[in-house]
Structure formats: C-alpha cells, structure tokens
Structure 1
Amino acid sequence: MTTTTVRLAADKLAPHMNKAMNAFDAASRKTTLEAPLLELVRARASQLNGCAYCVDTHNADARAGGETERRLYALPVWSQTPFFTPRERAALALTEAMTRLTDGPVPDAVFAAAQAEFDETELAELVWSITVINAWNRVAVTTHAWPLA
C-alpha cells in the first residue's frame, strides 16, 4: 500500500480559510437536492480530480446513504450504463464538464440537459455544490490528504 505524509497542514496553518471553506461546504449540504445525488456528484468529481481521500469519503457516505455497490463501481462509466436516472445523468454530465474546464467551457447541450432536469434554484445549488467539491479536491490533492487505512 502506498503511504505518503501530508505535505502541508493547510487547515491548521490557515484556519480562517479552512473555517470559511467548511462553512461553504456546510451551505452546499443545505440544498433542496437529494443527498444521494450530491454524493454521486462529489464522488465523480473526486474521481476525475484524482483525489483518493475524497473518493474514499464520498463512496463511504454514498454507501451509508443507501447507494448500491453496483452503481458506485459503474460511476466512472456512468454514461455507458443504464443504472442512472435522467436527473442523475444530467448532474453527472454537468459535474464532468465543470470539472474538466481545461477541455473547454461547459457545452450548451450539457447545460440545457441540466436545465431540463433541475429547476433554477436546484441548478444553482448543483453548480455551487460541484464548485465546492472541486475546491476540496484541489486542496486535498495538493497537500497529500490520504484516506485513513
């Protein structure tokens, strides 16, 4: 098993920023969106960003919330499976587009598909929730936050 020490205790060295990020995260959990959908979004963004800590955390949270192993195993290839609802598929497509901005801006078709599944408030909450997990991923990957064995 690979083990690495944390590079930087960013949370302890900049506690005011960590406190603000935790507040942002807490706000992203107080939405009208379904908790299971948000865990899929968090897990998928974390996979794309290569964040081992967050993949571990959000897969565990998803399982604790009743998510099936089959769907979690299929999450990396969600678009090629029949296991996800149209609403989940729209959220996952938006997650991928927002996470992979180096590929270009979020395509109009992806945004339109999300608009078809979510009302405006839900869509705004989804955009903010995707933003939060991407921010956490960047901190964790940069500082070498690792899942506990």
Structure 2
Amino acid sequence: MTNSPRVNIGKQHSAPYKALIALSSEVDETTSAAGLDPFLVELVKIRTSQINGCSFCLRMHTRDALKKGENPDRIAVLPAWEETGYFSETDRAALRLTEAITCVPDGHVSDEDYDAAAAVLTADQISAIAWLATVMNAFNRVAITSRYPVEA
C-alpha cells in the first residue's frame, strides 16, 4: 500500500457521511432496544473491521471496547472465536451472522448461517446485528477508500 493522499470522501461530500452517522446512531439504539450486550456490539464492529482490514476502525472500536471494560483476551482471540471458550452462544450466533454478512461476495448469507443465528437470536436481534454489520461495512469502506491515517 502506498501512502499517497486521497480525497476524504466524508469531507468531500459531507451530507452522505452525516446521513451514515445518523444511521449509525439509529442502529446503536436498535441494538440496545434488541437487548444486545454493549460488549458484543463492539465485538461485531471489531470483527467486521478485522475482516475488511480497516485499521482506523479497528483501533477506534478496540479502544472503545476496552474503555467499556471488555476483556482484552476476548479481543485478542476474536479472529478465532469459534475455537475458544470466551464467547457465549449469543456472541457466537452474532459473530457468525456478522461474518456471513461481511463476506457476502463469498457466497451470500447461507441458510445454514442464518438458521444458526435464528436458533439463538430473536428476530429483533438478527435485524439489529444485520444493520450493525451493514453500517460497519459502510464505515470501513469510507475509511479504507479515504485512507484515514492511523499513526502510532
């Protein structure tokens, strides 16, 4: 990757970016109303950003999760969530659905992935996770396209 400057699309066309921020606020309210744990919400944001390789969002949401009191070990093993005992059945269902939504080009959201989520999550929770993953994918694309700086 080069470090050549790029247009910050959020600043260049601020109205769509402000609309995305407003949508994100609505989704935050939706996740809360659906009864999703705030730690899980941050883990979904982190996992989406890991898959997309968005360093800006990874740093931001990892910091947010730690500030909220998330266990650093859970963040450390998040890419291998299926292999650990750190995650509840609800966490696993949400993370599986998040990965399927984020990796749509790899085969869409399969019935197997959706049914696994539906076996554990309520309809409100499925919808909230889907919206959260959708918004995070959008933010990742804005940050990656614009090459938001991530300095030490």
TM-score by length of 1: 0.93
Unaligned runs of 5+ in 2: none
What does residue range 37-56 of structure 1 map to in structure 2 within 5 Å?
Answer: 37-56=40-59
Identical-pair percentage: 39
| 1:146 Cα deviation after fit | 2.5
Matched, 1:59 2:58: no
Indicate how the Cα distance of structure 1 residues 95 and 6 shifts in structure 2: closer, same or farther if over 3 A, else same: farther
Q: Which runs of 4+ in 1 moved over 6 A?
A: none
Contact between 1:4 and 1:146, CA under 8 Å: does it hold in 2? no
Calculate the aligned-residue CA RMSD, in Å. Answer: 1.6
Match for residue 114 of structure 2?
A: 111
1:22 corresponds to which residue?
Answer: 21
Q: Which amino acid aligns with 1:50?
A: G
Corresponding residue of 1:101: 104
Deviations 1:35-64 (A, max 9, x none): 111100000000000000001011111111
Under a length normalisation based on structure 2, what TM-score does the superposition of the two structures give? 0.91
Question: Structure 1: which 5+ runs fail to align?
Answer: none
In 2, Cα distance between equivalents of 1:116 and 1:126: 14
How many aligned positions are there?
148
Cα deviation digits, residues 69-97 of structure 1 (max 9, x gap) = 11100001111111100100111111111
Distance in 2 between residues matched to 1:10 and 1:65, nearest whole Å: 30
